[in-house]
Structure 1
Amino acid sequence: MAANMYRVGDYVYFENSSSNPYLIRRIEELNKTANGNVEAKVVCFYRRRDISNSLIMLADKHAKEVEEESETTIEVDLTDKQKHQLKHRELFLSRQYESLPATHIRGKCSVALLNETESVLSYLEKEDTFFYSLVYDPSLKTLLADKGEIRVGPRYQADVPDMLAEGELDDREQAKLEVKVWDPDSPLTDRQIDQFLVVARAVGTFARALDCSSSVRQPSLHMSAAAASRDITLFHAMDTLHKHNYDLSSAISVLVPLGGPVLCRDEMEEWSASEASLFEEALEKYGKDFNDIRQDFLPWKSLTSIIEYYYMWKTTDRYVQQKRLKAAEAESKLKQVYIPTYNKPNPNQISSNNGKPAAVNGAMGASYQAQAPLIGRACESCYTPQSHQWYSWGPPNMQCRLCASCWIYWKKYGGLKMPTQTDDDKLSSSQPTEESHVRTHMSRQATQGTPVRNTGSPKSAVKTRQAFFLHTTCWTKLARQVCKNTLRLRQAARRPFVPINCAAIKAEYADRHCELAGNPLKIKSTRKPLSCIIGYLG
């Protein structure tokens, strides 16, 4: 029962498609609609597969910089499989909100800000655990470091200098040191100090009555007196008293110079009503993200001014009224909702427990029959030939399938358990997607080569996402020269979904092997090594 209760603040899986991975969201609100359904207002998290390759490269660069700056090694010695699966656990926070039906929730998960002091293996050891360190803006297509980063570690600690001995010379720069602004051991009593502060507030009230702009903003005497009683007036009075060595007569004369009484105004008085409305609107959108508030709503204000205004605004009646209004709205919202476990059969299932194939809808929406070639086909992820349940995956004409455990992994983490990229492909920061894995499998069957994205070629920048070249093996090159009658590679490339008759190729090779036994073929390498290409490009 507790596992099916979902509350505000929970990280959950949402299913928007039977064949795509789950969406990962954080519940912000649970609202009941007019027709009785429950909708969840959620914060969106994005996976690596959801953003462009250029941003993924930027994210990897940021991770390297963080690791280099850290005194402790974040990236421990991981296997290729662990590195591959760790990418499935990385998310990108966004400021985007959306409303989704609560009935599409498929379970809970955990998302945390990347902790530099914790081993990355801890995220792999726990099920349904993800991490994030960057914020993704889907409209601007940008990645930024999360401003909520908790700086933990020895490099963020202050260096406290040793205490100077009595009579020791101080070689520090005096202008950068703190200045004493108040002496608690002054000759004045508390009563005398309070009387001086009353005089300062009275002078402030009189100064506002004489000032035209202040009289417009505080039309009544009560409002002027309240504004004169704020901290800015008291700070000025105490600072004046300290500068005049706590001489009351000298300090009072400074409060009212020849030009008129001194007027001290803080941010609450300096801001206009329209600026205050803009600030409240920005605070509703961004929260306490003062940099974004200044950039998008109040660029003519300094960051210090905005922060000071925020803490003064929290002491006003308007803030109290808004807080009460939000509390009343929260009372009308749902605190939690019960969503039963989703147990309907997935339309991607292609066989039942007894292993008999059935007619189903494919992963891409087309219908086909799970025929004989599919029965003995291994899982595309873990390559196991047996499973109590199979799921169709990839384009229907490829008839690829995943076992039950790999299908659950695909739905939760958005990738396959086993890495399918080669060492050259790992240089590319792009994450293997469903389409790229199917193309890899197709190319491997067609030519028994190793598919690699052409990351070293200048032309690759203008190619589509589906473009790749085949880095063929020696056996494939040998088969091209020996089996010219059977292996017509150009015709096969034009019809990529038609399987190649490997048995005929083997038979022709066996027939010609005896002829070429005394005169072995020499395999010429037509592709230059990558080092030569890099040297040529400079």
Structure 2
Amino acid sequence: VAASHYVFFENSSSNPYLIRRIEELNKTASGNVEAKVVCFYRRRDISHSLIQLADKHAKELEEEKETPTEIELTEKQKHQLRHRELFLSRQYESLPATHIRGKCSVALLNETESVLSYLDKDDTFFYSLVYDPTQKTLLADKGEIRVGPRFQADVPEMLQEGEPDDRDQTKLEEKLWDPECPLTNKQIDQFLVVARAVGTFARALDCSSSVRQPSLHMSAAAASRDITLFHAMDTLHRLNYDLSSALSVLVPAGGPVLCRDEMEEWSASEAAMFEEALEKYGKDFNDIRQDFLPWKSLTSIIEYYYMWKTTDRYVQQKRLKAAEAESKLKQVYIPTYNKPNPNQISVTNGKMATVNGAGPGAYHAAGGGRACESCYTMQSAQWYSWGPPNMQCRLCVSCWMYWKKYGGLKMPSRLLPRSNHMMPMRNSGSPKSSMKTKQAFLLKVSRLTKMARHMCRDIIKLRRAARRPFVPVNCGAVKAECKSAFNFSYASSHPTFMSQCVATVFLTCVHASMDSHVYVHVGEPSTVEVSARVRAAALADGWRSAGLSWTLPQQDRHCTHSLNVCVCSRHVEGVGGSGGPSAQAPSRPEEHPDQCGAVLR
């Protein structure tokens, strides 16, 4: 078994199995394996009033459907279907892995599938409600597609050119920045620099800030956070982009304005308490505020959480958790359990028994003429005692396994009162209870586009472009700059040069010394010799980086262009003397996939 598997646990020799979902497997100090599991409850484990409430809720959902359709089930099928219904809980517990007796399957109730499919599959269960054993409540565990006037706005018709807008502007959103403002990008950047400088000066005057940021570097870093930039740009917009008025607002008569966000407001002890609470409760911010930080508002805690996720402490904790998860047990082998059950009352060496553990008079008197309390059979290879001892009831092998797995008998018994605590059977989908499929997408950017962001910084500035989202970017100038940088005159005569330069270039470093010659095979018709001084720097993951310059052959000197790249090499072979190269790189990366590589930056 492994994590996320649904399994049977045995905590009593006479009671049905517990159904649990394994969250993680842990090895104790004594060498035993324990499983942290999520609890599921059967109908027999929940109070009669809650079962009635669940059935009433299901009946109301069935009545809301436009075309309700119910499957005609026999009394036996309805009785057995009750045994397949479970209730999920948020309760966790740790159980010994040696108590696992097998695997099962648990799924959210699928209303588009026939309910008979749950009876046709062995060890299959379903659930639709969540049970809270502490509060004794039931909640639905499925989302809804909220369609209709209760959940969606009525989109008005688009206004024609010149048509007045009669809507109440006070009820609409508020504009925070005008892309068509009269200020130039240079003026805006200069004002933001002044705002950061004012923030640094304000922290120098503030006593509490001097304690939290004792160095000028830390104060300047705190003043450069988004809260300062937001305040500066909001001030510009509020004063109609008048620079002189905005500057006077930044430094009023009482002293410079000090802007702080939640990351700066919280003390070190509060940050430590927050991390402890997050470890205990997860992202349950209400419980975090109630038990750990009652003096903080819920808004403050949530804002701090998303800022905390950008810090190095979060990255370190994430790495530690990943390493801890890697060291945990992934799966464990559970051998077949063959020990005899204490409720076993008769062994017949594999032969069919015609009496139920005693003489004919005994089983007729105890069972009312029935040998097995469930299926009424009078022959079985093994019998098990079941129910109150004074009733002397017994089950055959098949019914005993059914009782252990499903928590009931195949047929209703006089000891199990008949109950209608079962949700109405249905097989047609309901738009109110269907889960909306989330569409995922991936934006894959080419390497050339990534390089263009760095090579064309003089042409396109991302921050300035974001301030004026309606002004198109001059793509022609970007392409021209890239062409100039990559020297397309050489690429026109060597078609494979550009394709392999933009992609990852694989090479072999033939010397481990600081001075080395490197050969790079970039195409069938041509080979480019690269002569460079390799500046190897050992990185944390064992790779080496170096700066290189491309040098084209003598016959192509008219189009020589220097291109800086970053070479990453995991294996640097010290082969040959210092006079020249002794090896040549492979022409295809798949020949030596783990040898080395050069990535354009």
TM-score range, shorter chain: 0.5 to 0.7
Match of 1:401 among 394, 400, 414: 394
- Offset at residue 58 of structure 1 (A): 4.3
Q: Relative to structure 1, is the Cα distance of residues 198 and 339 closer, same or farther in structure 2, using a 3 angstrom cutoff? A: farther
1:50 has 2:24 as partner: no
Q: Distance in 2 between matches of 1:115 and 1:304?
A: 38
Q: Is the 8 A contact 1:24 1:44 kept in 2?
A: yes
Partner of 2:556: none
Q: Structure 1: which amino acid aligns with 2:174?
A: V
AA aligned to 1:162 is P
- Label 1:427 to 1:204 Cα distance change in 2 as closer, same or farther (>3 A): same
Residue aligning to 1:253: 248
Q: In the alignment, does 2:5 pair up with 1:16?
A: no
Q: Which residue of 2 aligns with 1:206?
A: 201
For 2:312, the equivalent position in structure 1 comes to 317
Structure 1 residues 152 and 198: CA distance shift in structure 2, 3 A:
same
Q: Note the C-alpha offset of 1:181.
A: 1.9
Q: Alpha carbons of 1:160 and 1:399: their partners in 2 closer, same or farther (altered >3 Å)? A: same
Seen in structure 2, the aligned counterparts of structure 1 residues 392 and 171 have a Cα distance that, compared at 3 Å, is farther
- Where in structure 2 are there 5+ consecutive unaligned residues? 424-601
TM-score, normalised with respect to structure 2: 0.59
- For the residues of structure 2 that align with 1:420 and 1:338, how far apart are their CA atoms? 37
More helix by share: 1
Task: Work out the CA distance in 2 between the residues paired with 1:303 and 1:71.
Answer: 42
**AA in 2 matched with 1:356:** A
User: More deviation in 288-297 or 163-172?
Assistant: 163-172
Report the CA distance shift for 1:221/1:345 in structure 2 as closer, same or farther (over 3 A). Answer: same
**Higher mean displacement: 320-329 or 374-383:** 374-383
The CA deviation at 1:7 is: 1.5
Q: 2:224 aligns to what?
A: 229
State the partner residue of 1:436. none
How far apart, in 2, do the equivalents of 1:25 and 1:328 lie?
A: 26
Deviation sequence 1:411-464 (CA, Å, 0-9, x none) = 222223344599x9647799xxxxxxxxxxxxxxxxxxxxxxxxxxxxxxxxxx
Q: Which residue of 1 aligns with 2:575?
A: none
| Cα offset, 1:105, TM superposition | 1.2
CA distance in 2, matches of 1:316, 1:217: 16
| 1:212–1:29 CA distance, 2 compared to 1 (3 A) | same
Deviates further, 370-379 or 177-186: 370-379
Q: 1:29 to 1:76 in 2, by over 3 A?
A: same
Q: Which residue of 2 aligns with 1:450?
A: none
Secondary structure, counterpart of 1:46 in structure 2: strand
Cα offset, 1:338, TM superposition: 1.3
Give 1:63 deviation, angstroms: 4.2
Q: 1:256 to 1:36 in 2, by over 3 A?
A: same
**Structure 2: distance between partners of 1:230 and 1:95:** 39
| 2:334 match | 339
Change (3 A) 1:355 1:316: same
Distance 2:400 2:167 in 1: 65
Aligned Cα RMSD in Å? 3.7
Tell me the secondary structure at the aligned position of residue 144 of structure 2.
coil
CA contact (8 A) 1:74 1:120 kept: no
What is the deviation of 1:394? Answer: 0.9
Aligned to 1:150: 143
Deviations 1:247-283 (A, max 9, x none): 4333333222222222222222333444333332332
The answer as to 2:77 corresponding to 1:88 is: no
Partner of 2:27: 32
Give the TM-score, by structure 1 length: 0.66
What is the alpha-carbon distance in structure 1 between the residues aligned to residue 164 and residue 153 of structure 2?
20
Q: Does 1:355 align with 2:352?
A: yes
Query: Helix, strand or coil for the counterpart of 2:332?
Result: strand
Please identify, of 11-20 and 197-206, the stretch whose mean Cα deviation from structure 2 is larger: 197-206
Give 1:13-412 correspondences, 5 Å limit.
13-64=8-59, 80-114=75-109, 123-138=118-133, 140-143=134-137, 145=139, 149-152=142-145, 154=147, 158-166=152-160, 172-349=167-344, 350-352=346-348, 353-356=350-353, 369-372=357-360, 373-374=362-363, 377-412=370-405
Go from structure 1 to structure 2 and tell me whether the alpha carbon gap of 1:193 and 1:160 turns closer, same or farther (over 3 Å shift): farther
Match of residue 416, structure 1, among 403, 409, 418: 409
* Residue-pair matches, total: 413
Report which of the two structures shows the higher radius of gyration computed on alpha carbons. 2
Measured against aligned partners, the alpha-carbon deviations of 1:93-113 in whole angstroms (never above 9, x if no partner) come to 334332221121122223344
Name the residue aligned to 1:506. none
Instruction: Give yes or no for contact 2:25–2:33 (8 Å, CA) kept in 1.
Output: yes
- 1:259–1:50 distance in 2 versus 1, CA, 3 Å: same
CA contact (8 A) 1:80 1:419 kept: no
Residue pair 2:354, 2:380 contacting (<8 A) in 1 also: no
Larger displacement relative to structure 2 (71-80 or 48-57): 71-80
Distance change (3 Å), C-alpha of 1:165 and 1:266: same
Contact 1:90–1:130 (CA under 8 A) maintained in structure 2: yes
d(CA) in 1 for partners of 2:178, 2:311: 31
Q: CA deviation at 1:118?
A: 6.4
What is the rounded CA distance, in whole Å, between the counterparts of 1:113 and 1:300 in structure 2? 40
Tell me if the contact between 1:351 and 1:358 (Cα under 8 Å) persists in the aligned partners.
no
Instruction: Name the CA distance, whole Å, in 2 between partners of 1:59 and 1:251.
Output: 61
Runs (5+) with no aligned partner, structure 1: 1-5, 360-368, 431-538
SS at match of 2:259: coil
Task: Label 1:308 to 1:396 Cα distance change in 2 as closer, same or farther (>3 A).
Answer: same
Encode CA deviations 1:271-321: one digit per residue, 9 max, x unaligned.
344433333233222222233333444444333332222211111222122
